[in-house]
């Protein structure tokens, strides 16, 4: 990536509010069966979704360091919501902001990451 891109990204991230959803809201949306994609930004060896409450076809593992290059390869246009998640929240927050910068206005991060979400415990 070139320095101009990184400078522009840095400026846009600083100007953007954090697009957050609280764990209880996320749990409610999961239970309601809302049309959502979950982007796990952890490394593949840390990704462990096996809970029956989650339809794995809507979960994508896109490691944080690969987000900008790999995310455009996934068609996320059919989802009402896109949630980023990590272990505790910080990488998910930055990932959701980057996604919004990329034009995905329906991207949010789950505050507290998998540590705070019922179905991942």
CATH H-level superfamily of 18-120: Rhodanese-like domain (3.40.250.10)
- Binned average pLDDT, 10 residues per bin, the chain of 121 residues: 70 70 88 90 77 67 93 94 91 92 92 80 60
Name 108's bridge partners: 83
**Residue in 105, 98, 84, 70 with CA at minimum distance from that of residue 14:** 98
- For the full predicted model, state whether its pTM sits above 0.85: no
Pairing of strands 36-40, 81-85: parallel
Residue 113 CA to residue 117 CA, distance in Å, equals 7
**Residue in 79, 81, 67 with CA at minimum distance from that of residue 110:** 81
């Amino acid at each position: 990536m070139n320095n101009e891109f990184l400078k522009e990204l840095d400026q846009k991230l600083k100007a953007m509010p954090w697009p957050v959803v609280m764990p209880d809201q996320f749990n409610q949306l999961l239970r309601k069966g809302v049309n959502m994609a979950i982007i796990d930004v952890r490394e593949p060896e840390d990704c462990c979704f096996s809970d029956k409450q989650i339809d794995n076809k809507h979960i994508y593992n896109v490691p944080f360091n690969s987000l900008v290059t790999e995310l455009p390869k996934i068609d996320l246009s059919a989802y009402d919501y896109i949630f980023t998640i990590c272990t505790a929240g910080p990488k998910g927050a930055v990932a959701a902001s980057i996604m919004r910068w990329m034009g995905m206005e329906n991207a949010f991060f789950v505050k507290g990451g998998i540590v705070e979400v019922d179905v991942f415990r």
